[in-house]
Structure 1
Amino acid sequence: MKERRKFLKLGAAFTAGAFLPLQFCSSPKKETATAVVEEAVAESVKETISKFGVQLYSVKEDMAADAKETIKKIAGYGYNQIEGFDGGKGIFWGMKNTEFKTFTEDLGLDFVASHANVFDNTEKLAAEAGEIGMKYLICPWIGPQESMEEWKKIADRFNEVGQICKNNVVRFAYHNHGYTFEELEGQMPQDFLLENTDPELVDYELDIYWAVTAGADPEAYFEKYKNRFRLCHVKDREKGAPSGKADASIVLGEGSIDYSKVLRTAKDNGMDYFIVEQEKFEGVSPLEAAEKNAAYLKKLEI
């Protein structure tokens, strides 16, 4: 699909260029005209996201009540991937890793990743994840640190965990919240982590909502750190929410984040996995929100 898109884009650019006013070809306005053509072409050649998932934490109460029935409902909404979390019964929800894999696979779901306590029983966790073909184990939370020296220790630990994961044929990634985008001692922790972890061992899952909440530009990060962000959390933010307000999650398409634009940039810079997440619900249940969010991503053109 990506190569076809490039081919169509190139063809459209040649066609559009043929109709540029002659003076643009030799004037200082040439670059501006070319940029206009390229932007128009990009807008005319869109695609949808064929594969996307949901972070099961979005329906955590339902998972706690009946994990299997909840996952069956999720599969019925059109998701083809899931990202798990440890809800107290382990990331396999009381099942063996192979049993959980078979259960989800039979529903047409690819269990691509899970948030987990990656610092506890790392070898066992990585071995179980690798055995069933999971792509990622993800650290979901570190918390604010008091100094950059502490962040240096965390970066080193990430590299260690990443090596263990690699040895078991699974990748390691870190999922951000807003605190990594808060300057500390003249440095940005998120940038520090990206620049002090081995790309061969550590990837990143950008929670776009938390980046925007903290005042960061997701697209700038995708472009600056190309191929480091392999997963993302797709979560919308209430229109008009005050800067920094944490509790402003809303159903996709009803908020302020331009996901058509943001996810296009993400995909062009190495994004592989698009994972829906929602943490606040008004007027809808978590499962209803999950269904609405799937419907939104099915139709979204990027």
Structure 2
Amino acid sequence: MNKRRDFLKASGALALTTLFRPSDIFADSLAKKPIGLQLYSVREDMSEDPQGTLRMVSSIGYKSLETANYADGKVYGMEPVFFKNYIQDLGMKLRSAHVGGPRSYDPAKKDEALDWWKKAAADHKIMGAKYLIKPSMPIPTTLKELDVWCEYYNAIGEITKKSGLLFGFHNHAREFESIEGKIMMDHMIAYTDPKLVCFELDVYWAQKGGQDPVEYLEKYAGRFPVLHIKDEEEIGASGTLDFKAIFEAAYKQGMKDYFVEVERYNFEPLESVKQSFDYLNKASYVK
């Protein structure tokens, strides 16, 4: 049996005392800070045992969640009402969700595409989410193609607004490449309605794309209510991102929520997200 499954089987209160020292969890980790976690960070654990993994995430101290597994009206196989009640019982809440939607977009089939988003918005309203985030997109080759996506995002924003959610887009590095002499991300920010579309700045990918996350936050103040706090592996491990400056700039420009995301690990994923939590929990600049 694989190690991860064994690890998750030990997710009860008694097992937690053996997996993590009580002083680690209860003295260092449980905090009043609303530190959020993108559940993609523990994607294999969530696939094998979503409820057990959520218990572990709660025990680490995370209070806020961002999901990444919406399909067929369910999240991690759970109905919206069940998921909401389950995480509430664990002292957590859903603030954001990564939802892919139709991979491609054909303006001739706009109504069909928007119907998908109507369903997604309704389901995530039930779960209490604030943001509905598209995590990626096909990279256009012309500004005309990119404008079609911007119009589509504005239309999605109209849909989600009716359900009380704010639609957003999450960057990787490629969105900082140039198309016809213009940086794609800059163009998207300029040609989407700020009342309908926000952006979730992934600070790691922004830096990988050649941007200074702090300067970008300052340049487009107000467009980033939510951030991905990310590093090469665990938060703070690489020493290449100035998280103090990033948080200070993010708060100043209006950040409301932030989520740890770990994609590569030096440890088991749950230990990696715990170390990332502890790093932010101990940081005086994190509120």
TM-score tier, shorter chain, comes to 0.7 to 0.9
How many Å apart are 1:143 and its aligned residue? 2.9
Q: Find the partner of 1:77 among 26, 42, 60.
A: 60
Q: Which residue of 1 aligns with 2:22?
A: none
SS in 2 for 1:94: coil
Aligned to 1:92: 75
- Superposed CA deviations along residues 128-182 of structure 1, whole A, max 9, x for unmatched, are 1123321011000103211111111110000000000001111111000111101
Q: Does the CA contact (< 8 Å) of 2:73 and 2:120 recur in 1?
A: no
Aligned residue in 1 for 2:216:
221
> How many percent of aligned residue pairs carry the same amino acid?
34
Match of 1:231 among 202, 207, 226: 226
CA distance in 2, matches of 1:87, 1:127: 12
**Which of 174, 189, 196 is the matching residue for 2:191?**
196
> Which of 157, 169, 173 is the equivalent residue of 1:162?
157
What's the RMSD between the two structures over aligned residues?
A: 1.6
Q: Does 1:295 align with 2:278?
A: yes
Q: Distance in 1 between matches of 2:130 and 2:70?
A: 20
Contact in 2 for aligned 1:49/1:297 (Cα 8 Å): no
Which residue in 1 is equivalent to 2:18? none
The aligned counterpart of 2:255 is: 271
> CA 1:89/1:289 → structure 2, altered by over 3 Å: closer, same or farther?
farther
Contact map agreement 1:118 1:138 (CA 8 A) in 2 = no
Count of residues in Structure 1 that have an aligned counterpart in Structure 2: 242
- CA separation in 1, counterparts of 2:73 and 2:278? 29
CA contact (8 A) 2:73 2:123 kept: no
Distance 2:158 2:265 in 1: 38
Instruction: Specify the alignment match of 2:233 in structure 1.
Output: 250
Distance in structure 1 (CA, Å) of the matches to 2:189 and 2:230: 22
The letter of the residue matching 1:138 is: I
| Runs of 4 or more consecutive aligned structure 1 residues displaced over 6 Å after TM superposition | none
TM-score, structure 1 as length reference = 0.77
The alpha carbon displacement at 1:88 in A equals: 5.5
CA contact (8 A) 1:60 1:87 kept: no
Distance in 2 between residues matched to 1:167 and 1:64, nearest whole Å? 31
Q: Which residue of 1 aligns with 2:135?
A: 140
Say whether the 8 Å CA contact 2:73–2:79 is kept in structure 1: no
1:149 equivalent among 139, 144, 152: 144
The 1-side partners of 2:237 and 2:271 are apart by: 14
Label 1:91 to 1:142 Cα distance change in 2 as closer, same or farther (>3 A).
farther
- For residues 276 and 203 of structure 2, the distance between their equivalents in structure 1, rounded to whole angstroms, comes to 15
**2:84: which partner in 1?**
101
**Deviation of 1:117 (Å):** 2.1
Q: Provide structure 2 residue ranges, at least 5 long, that are not aligned to the other structure.
A: 1-30, 103-112
